[in-house]
Structure 1
Amino acid sequence: MSAMAVLGWRTLWSLFVCFTVLRTNALSVTMSESTMEVVRGDYIILPCSFSTYSPLSRLNIIWTLAPFSSPESPFQVIVYDHGQIIEDPSLIGRVGFTDLPLRADIMINDTRVSDAGVYRCMVNNPPEAADPGIGELLLTVLGELSGSVQIINVSAQTSGLYRCSASNLLGTENCYINLSIYSAGSESSSGILQGVLLTLSMSLMLSALLVLVTWLHRTGRDGRWRVSKGEEEEEEGYNEIRYTPSLIKRSFV
C-alpha cells in the first residue's frame, strides 16, 4: 500500500473519530420522571436535567404544555434565552426555573386542573447539535371533590360520629362529623301537660267564681227578707244602712 493511501485512510479515520466524539458529546436531556401527580392547589417541581460541553452563554430552554383539554394546541409555558426569562401571561407568578443555568427544572405553584397535560423540556446550547434535546413528562392534577349524604326519617338512634373517607393515588384523608338528634317528644308532652294544667286551673277559677256568685245571691235574698221583716219591727233610735242584691252584684260581678 502506498504512502498516499495510508495517509488517506488515517485522515478518514480521524474524521470519523472526531465526528463520533462530537456526536457522543452532543447535548442530551434527561427526565428523571415520566409521569407525576399533584393535588390541585399544591406546588410541584418538574425535573429536567441536561449535559453539554459548550459554554452556557447561548443556552436556550423552552418548556411547552399540551393540555389534556386541548392536546392539539400546545403553548410555551416558560422560556430561558440568553439570560432572559419569559413566562406565559396566564402563568405569571405561578411558574419559574429553580436552578438555572445548571438545570432546566421548573416549579409550578397553586396548581390548577388546567395545568395537567404533557410537558416538553427542550434544551439547545449552540454550537452543539442543531437539534435540541427533548424530554417529555405527563402531569396529572387531581381535582378536589366534595360529597354529601342525605339522611331521612331521622331519630335519636341516628345520632353518632360520622366519618367521611376519600382516597386517591396520593393517599387517604378522613373527616369526622358529630351528629346529635334531639327528640321533640318530651317538649310536646310538656306543652300538653301545661295546657291541661292551665285548663284545669281556669275551670277551678270559674267554679269558684260561680260558687261565690251563688253565695252572694243567696246572701242578698236572705238579707232582703231580713230587712223586710225588720221594717215591721223597726225600732226608733237606730241608723241602718241597707244593701240590695243589685248593689252586691255590681260590686262582685
Structure 2
Amino acid sequence: MARLLGPLLYRALLGLICMTALGPAVEVHVPAEPLSTPVGKTAELTCSYSTSVTDNFALEWSFVQPGEPISAAHPILYFTNGHLYPTGSKAKRASLLQNPPTGGVATLKLSDVHLLDTGTYLCHVNNPPDFYTNGLGLINLTVLVAPSSPLCSQTGRISVGGSAALRCSSSEGAPKPVYNWIRLGSFPTPSPGSMVQDEVSGQLILTNLSVASSGTYRCVATNQMGSASCEMTLSVTDPSKGRVAGAVIGVLLGLLFLFVVALCLIRFQKERRRKPKETYWGSDLRYNKFFWAIQRVLPVGKE
C-alpha cells in the first residue's frame, strides 16, 4: 500500500509545482444577463479579468452576428505590446473604457449604436503563460428600435356574408413589435368569434361580414421604444341591394324611353294635322296602327 501511495503522491506534488511555476489562470468576467441599448446611444460592454499581467498580455474584442457561429467572429479592436489597434467596420465607434486595459478592466464602449450592432460580443484576454482557461467572455447586445410606420393591407371577399383579413407589419422594430387592431368610431360590439386578431403576426380576421362592419380600422405596432400606426377603410357591399337598384333603374329607363317615343309621336301628329289631307299608302296605314297601339299604353292629348 505504501509503495502504491508513493508514486501517486509524487505525481500530485509535481503537478502542483508545475501549476505554481506557470502562474494563475486567466479569469474573465462579463454580465450574465443580455445587454440592451436604445438606437443612437452608447453601449458599454462590461468586461473585467484577473491575471498576472506580463509583457505578453493581449486583449481582443470581436463581434458575431445573430445566428452565426463563434468561429465567424469579426475583430473590433486589439490591444497588444502596449498599443491599441481598432479595426473593422466598427473601428471609428469603438474604444476602451480604460486605456491601456492593464488594470483588470477591459470594458468596450460602442458609440452611436444602430440595428446592425445587435449580436454577440467576445472579450478575449490572452496572457501567456496563463493557459488554464480560454480567457473568453460573451456578451449579447440588443439595440432597441421603435417600430417603423406599419403597412396595412386587406384581402378577402368584402361583401355581406363574406370574410376579410386585415394585415399590418412594420419593417423595423426591436424587440419585435406587437400589433393591436381597433375600430374607430362608435359601433355595436361585433358578435363573438367574428373578429379575431393575432398580436404577433398583426392579422385581423373578420367573418360573417355585414354592412355594419364597414368603417375605419387602425393597427398600432408597439414595443418598449414606442409605437406607430396605420389605418384602413373597409367598405362592405350588399349584392342583393345592387340587384334591386339595377332592376329599378331598368324600369325607369324603360318608362323614360316610352315617354320620349310618345312625345315624338304627339309632335308628329300635330305636324300632320296642319298639312292638307293626302292619299296615304300602305306604309301610312301601318304607321296609324302603330300610333293607335301606343295611344292605348300612353293616351295622347288632343288639341
Normalising to structure 1: TM-score of the pair?
A: 0.51
Quote the residue 1:203 is aligned against: 258
> Structure 1 residue 28: deviation in Å?
5.5
- Superposition pairs for residues 24-103 of structure 1, below 5 Å? 29-31=28-30, 33-38=31-36, 44-50=43-49, 60-65=58-63, 69-71=67-69, 73-81=71-79, 82-88=82-88, 91-92=89-90, 96-101=94-99, 103=105
DSSP 3-state at the match of 2:268: helix
- Corresponding residue of 2:119: 116
Partner of 2:234: 181
* 2:77/2:91 contact within 8 Å kept: no
1: CA distance between counterparts of 2:208 and 2:91? 51
**Which whole-Å CA distance do the structure 2 matches of 1:40 and 1:154 have between them?**
43
**What CA distance in whole angstroms lies between the structure 2 residues aligned with 1:36 and 1:201?**
79
Distance of 2:137 and 2:77 partners within structure 1? 16
C-alpha distance in 2 between matches for 1:192 and 1:42: 64
Secondary structure of 2:263's partner? helix
Q: 3-state SS of the aligned residue for 1:218?
A: helix
Give distance in 1, aligned partners of 2:202 and 2:37: 17
2: CA distance between counterparts of 1:92 and 1:165? 31
Size of the aligned set, in residue pairs, is 193
Distance 2:210 2:29 in 1: 62
Query: Could you say if the C-alpha distance between residues 62 and 194 of structure 1 is closer, same or farther in structure 2, counting changes exceeding 3 Å?
Result: same
Question: 2:35 touches 2:141 (CA, 8 Å); kept in 1?
Answer: yes
Output the amino acid matched with 1:30: H
| 1:207 shift after superposition | 0.2
Shift of 1:61: 1.6
Structure having greater relative contact order (Cα 8 Å, sep ≥ 6): 1
Question: Which moves more between the two structures, 186-195 or 78-87?
Answer: 186-195
Contact 1:40 1:143 in 2 (8 A): no
Q: How many angstroms does 1:69 deviate by?
A: 3.5
Q: Secondary structure at the match of 1:100?
A: coil
Show structure 1 runs of 5+ residues with no match: 1-15, 226-253
Letter in 1 for 2:106: A
Q: One-letter code of the match for 2:61?
A: W
- For residues 155 and 74 of structure 1, the distance between their equivalents in structure 2, rounded to whole angstroms, comes to 56
1:210 deviation in Å? Answer: 0.6
Whether the aligned pair in 1 keeps the contact of 2:29 and 2:48 (CA below 8 Å) is yes
Give 1:212 deviation, angstroms.
1.8
Contact 2:45 2:139 survives alignment (8 Å): no
Cα separation, partners in 2 of 1:150 and 1:37, compared to 1, 3 Å: farther
TM superposition shift of 1:86: 3.2
Percent identical: 17
Structure with max Cα Rg: 1
Output the amino acid matched with 1:181: L
| CA distance 1:68–1:125, shift in 2 (3 Å) | same
The root-mean-square deviation of aligned C-alpha atoms, in Å, is: 5.0
1:215 aligns with one of 242, 261, 270: 270
SS at match of 1:136: strand
Question: Structure 1: how far apart are the matches of 2:229 and 2:68?
Answer: 39
